[in-house]
Amino acid sequence: MKILAFETSCDDTAVSIVEDGCRVIASVRVSQVEHSAWGGVVPEIAARLHAENWPGALEQCLTDAALTIEEIDALAVTQGPGLQTSLLSGTTAASFLSQLYQTPLIPVHHIYGHLCSVFLERDLKSVSFPALVLTVSGGHTDCYLWESPTDWKKLGGTLDDAAGEAFDKTAKMLGLGYPGGPVVSQHAQLGDRRKYDLPVPNLGKDSLNFSFSGVKAAIYRLVETHKSGLETNTDPLSPDFINDVCASFETTVSKIFVKKMITAMTQNPTVKTLCFVGGVSANTYIKKGLQDFSQQHGIKFLTPTKIAYSTDNAAMIASAAYFLHQQNLELGKIQHVESNPKLTL
Ligand code: KG4
Ligand code: ZN
pLDDT digits (tens, 9 = 90+) for 81-91: 988 989 999 99
Which residue's alpha carbon is nearest to atom 14 within ligand 1? Answer: 181
- Beta strand 23-31 with 12-19 is antiparallel
Distance from Cα 247 to the centre of ligand 2, integer Å: 25
Pocket (CB within 6 angstroms of ligand 1): 137-139, 164-165, 167-168, 179-182, 185, 278-280, 282-283, 311-312
- pLDDT tens digits, 61-83: 999 999 999 999 999 999 989 88
Whether the Cβ atoms of residue 75 and residue 103 lie closer than 8 Å to each other: yes
Distance from Cα 192 to the centre of ligand 2, integer Å: 30
Indicate the top mutation candidate among 280, 283, 286, 309 to test ligand 1's pocket, ranked by most ligand atoms within 8 A of CB. 280
pTM for this model (two decimals): 0.93
Indicate the top mutation candidate among 215, 281, 311, 339 to test ligand 1's pocket, ranked by most ligand atoms within 8 A of CB. 311
Looking at residue 29, its amino acid is: R
Three-class DSSP labels, the chain = CEEEEEECCCCEEEEEEEECCCEEEEEEEEECHHHHHHCCCCHHHHHHHHHHHHHHHHHHHHHHHCCCHHHCCEEEEEEECCCHHHHHHHHHHHHHHHHHHCCCEEEEEHHHHHHHHHHCCCCHHHCCCCEEEEEECCCCEEEEEEEECCEEEEEEEECCCCHHHHHHHHHHHCCCCCCHHHHHHHHHCCCCCCCCCCCCCCCCCCCCCECCHHHHHHHHHHHHHHHHCCCCCCCCCCHHHHHHHHHHHHHHHHHHHHHHHHHHHHHCCCCCEEEEECHHHHCHHHHHHHHHHHHHCCCEEECCCCHHHHCCCCHHHHHHHHHHHHCCCCCCCCCCCCCCCCCCC
Distance from Cα 208 to the centre of ligand 1, integer Å: 21
**Which pLDDT band, with edges at 50, 70 and 90, does 325 fall under?**
very high
Q: Which ligand is nearest to the CA of 183?
A: 1
d(CA 165, CA 331): 33
Average pLDDT, the chain: 92
- pLDDT tens digits, 18-29: 999 999 999 999
pLDDT (mean) for 26-35: 87
The residues, any chain, with a CB within 8 Å of residue 305's CB and separated by 6 or more, are 120, 121, 122
**Which pLDDT band, with edges at 50, 70 and 90, does 139 fall under?**
confident
Whether the Cβ atoms of residue 17 and residue 322 lie closer than 8 Å to each other: no
